[in-house]
A and B are shown apart, each in its own frame.
Chain A
Amino acid sequence: MLQNKPVSLSDTINECGDPSGCFVEGAERRLTLSQLVWGSSIDGRGEQLRGRSVVVLVADQLTAASVMLELDGIARRMVLCPPDLPLEYLPSVIAASEAEAIISDRGPMGPEALPLLVLEPSISKLNRQVCDRGAQCETEWILLTSGTSGPPKLVQHNLSSLSGAIKRGSNSSKKIVWSTFYDIRRYGGLQIFLRAALTGTSLVLSSATEPPAAFLARAGASGVTHISGTPSHWRRALMSPAAKLLDPEYVRLSGEIADQGILNQLRSTFPKARLAHAFASTEAGVAFEVGDEIAGFPAVALEQTAEVEMKVVDGSLRIRSARTASRYLGEAGLRPIRDPEGFVDTSDVVELREGRYQFLGRRDGVINVGGSKVHPEEIEAVINRHPRVEMSRVRTKKNPITGAIVVADVALKVAVERGSPEARALQHDILLFCRESLASWKIPGAIYFVPSLAVAETGKLVRRDA
């Protein structure tokens, strides 16, 4: 969207009205939105960052929120590093973003940061900002996404592309308190942070160091009404009795395929909530939301989604809208994010079944079993429907006969003793369950019961396929 004069995030919040009525809460403290808008966690040194490319590498989400509010409209470019960024990748992030400054609380920086201006933020010493907050430029917002291997890719957005799906205007009718399992440096979390900030609603942030049950209890106690996360976030949350402390009006899933199992589980856990699963990605932006509580999305969504054009080419979903990212920075920038017509190929493979598109998984996540393609997510969706299964991960196992077979790691709601007759019976039962709805090559060769499955900082199931 073209604007004559850039409008920063803090400008917009101030225009919305008095931000002192809403709060942003981290695991350790709660601040009003106005404290965040007017305060500086970098000792009022924003002036030194004017027009510069700045890497933001901080542990705490509230600090990150403060820095984003301070830098937007001032810095030329702001690179939002997730807290788990391995430091070995920092030099490539600095190089790709042509960084001139770094805001970091990771202690002394290595030689890669030597030529940079280094600022150490502190959210506990929030000074009233001295620097003029008026937007001077349209800041580039850079998000990191994991590449297939090696350093992350840097994806360029701006405030306008990031907030394209957010309907401004008052939410006056009811008090809304947002929360998200995501970190706000990730696309899914950033959406919620911006949504809360731009619509004048409160926000409860998660923390990587806080146990899931403690976060759920805090969110419940803070009156969270709207909450988002990936299906894996939600499966993990539902394993905790503390999930019952939440009483949300709106539950949103995004970032992974929402299978019927998790939709059904959320429905029974939160009978009053409106459930929606959204399709969005860092590169493609927010595309659409599905509210009918059925996995996949109606085919008519391709034509009938306002402001977003979609098409399926070679089996994968392509998206064109004002919400897509513009490019990758650095070497990855040699490959454009958008095709010549402006469409972003999501690499998410969909298949039309009875008027509804189902997600089959990532194009690159395909497992080849004796020449037949298998999308792990499709099998996981079936296994996850089994009443005793909490979550599952289907992976490839090398095989001398078919090249690969699929096997499944399964976390149960109630664990069984390994090797016991009960465990064997349950393995058999899950396999029967798979056989009812999957082609033979998609049936896991083995079911392994595991105590739990790792969910990455991204909120997505950790996949470690060979």
Chain B
Amino acid sequence: MEHDKQLPPLTDDLELLDSGLDSLCFAVIVARLEDVLGVDPLSSSEDARFPVTFGEFVSAYENAAK
């Protein structure tokens, strides 16, 4: 990746904070996903809960796509 970061295997229960990515990296990921998918499920409502695990992160996008 751009940041030359080594990521652990991305499993559903991997906590995002343990992934080696900082908040800025996630901010960028969310922005780019929005560019590609046209949705930002984390901003779609005022009280959207921020996902804790990689699995929750993915399902937020899956739910938004439904």
Residues of A within 8 A of B (CB): 369-370, 397-402, 405, 407, 428, 431-432, 440-441, 445-446
Bound together, the chains give a CA A400 to CA B27 distance in angstroms of 7
Interface centre among B31, B32, B40 (most CB of A within 10 A): B31
Which residues of B pack against A, CB within 8 Å?
A: 2, 23-24, 26-28, 30-32, 35, 40, 42-43, 48, 50
Asked if B28 contacts A446 (CB within 8 A), the reply is yes
Provide the main secondary structure of the chain A interface.
mixed
What chain A residues lie within 8 Å of B2 (beta carbons)? 428, 431-432
Distance of A432 Cα from B3 Cα, bound (Å): 9
Interface pair B28/A400, CB less than 8 Å apart: no
Given contacts A399-B31, A431-B2, A446-B32, contact A440 B40 (CB under 8 A): no
The 8 Å CB contact of B28, one of A405, A428, A432, is A405
A428 to B32, CA, bound (A): 14
User: In the assembly, what is the distance between CA of A400 and CA of B49, in Å?
Assistant: 10
> Which 9 residue pairs are nearest across A and B when measured between Cβ atoms?
A400-B42, A401-B27, A445-B28, A402-B27, A400-B43, A445-B31, A399-B27, A405-B27, A401-B26
Contacts of A407 in B (CB 8 A): 31
Closest to B31 in A: A445
Residue of B nearest to A402 (CB): B27
Residue numbers in A under 8 Å from B30 (CB-CB): 399-401
> How far, in Å, is A70 (CB) from chain B's closest CB?
55
Closest to B28 in A: A445
Q: Which residues of A contact B40 (CB under 8 A)?
A: 400
Minimum distance in angstroms from B29 CB to a CB of chain A = 9
B23 to A402, Cβ gap below 8 A?
A: yes
29 A-B residue pairs with Cβ-Cβ distance under 8 Å, sorted by A, are: A369-B27, A370-B23, A370-B27, A397-B31, A399-B31, A399-B43, A400-B27, A400-B40, A400-B42, A400-B48, A401-B24, A401-B26, A401-B27, A401-B30, A401-B50, A402-B23, A402-B24, A405-B24, A405-B31, A407-B31, A431-B2, A432-B2, A440-B24, A441-B24, A445-B28, A445-B31, A446-B28, A446-B31, A446-B35
Query: Which residue of the partner chain B has the closest CB to A441?
Result: B24
Inter-chain contacts of A370 with B (CB < 8 A): 23-24, 27
**Residue on B nearest A440 in the bound complex, by CB:** B24
Q: How far is the CA of A398 from the CA of B48 in the complex (A)?
A: 15
Q: How far is the CA of A441 from the CA of B28 in the complex (A)?
A: 10
Known: A401-B30, A407-B31. 19 other contacts (CB 8 A): A369-B24, A370-B23, A370-B27, A399-B27, A400-B40, A400-B42, A400-B43, A400-B48, A401-B23, A401-B26, A401-B50, A402-B23, A405-B27, A405-B31, A432-B2, A441-B24, A445-B27, A446-B28, A446-B32
A440 to B48, CA, bound (A): 26
A83 to B45, CA, bound (A): 42
Give the secondary structure class of B's interface: helix
How far is B24's CA from A370's CA once the two chains are assembled, in angstroms?
8
Q: Which residues of B contact A369 (CB under 8 A)?
A: 24, 27
Asked if A445 and B23 sit within 8 Å, CB to CB, the answer is no
Q: Which of B27, B35, B42 has the most CB of A within 10 A?
A: B27
Most interface-central of B24, B26, B35, B42 (chain A CB within 10 A): B24
Query: In the complex, what residues of B have CB within 8 A of residue A400's CB?
Result: 27, 30, 40, 42-43, 48, 50
B26 to chain A, nearest CB (A): 5
Chain B nearest CB: distance from A349 CB in Å?
23
Q: What B residues does A402 contact at CB under 8 A?
A: 23-24, 27
With A and B bound together, what is the CA distance between A398 and B27 in angstroms? 10
For the complex, give the distance between the alpha carbons of A399 and B50 in Å.
Answer: 12
How far apart sit A428 and B2, CA to CA, in the bound complex (Å)? 8
Nearest CB of chain A from residue B27's CB, rounded to whole Å:
4
Q: Are B43 and A398 in contact (CB under 8 A)?
A: yes
Kindly list chain B residues whose C-beta atoms are within 8 Å of the C-beta of A401.
Answer: 23-24, 26-27, 30, 42, 50
Contact residues in A for B23 (Cβ distance below 8 Å) = 370, 401-402
Q: For the complex formed, measure the closest distance between the CB of A255 and the CB atoms of chain B, giving whole angstroms.
A: 31
Smallest CB gap from A399: residue in B: B27
Residue of B with least CB distance to A372: B24
Cβ-closest chain A residue relative to B2 = A431
Interface centre among A369, A401, A405, A440 (most CB of B within 10 A): A401
Provide the bound-state CA to CA distance between A370 and B23, in Å.
9
Cα A432 to Cα B23 with chains together (Å) = 20
Chain A nearest CB: distance from B44 CB in Å?
Answer: 9
Closest B residue to A397 by beta carbon equals B31
- Whole-angstrom distance between the Cβ of A216 and the nearest chain B Cβ: 36
**Complex CA–CA separation, A441 to B22 (angstroms):** 11
Across-interface contacts of B27 in A (CB, < 8 A): 369-370, 399-402, 405, 445
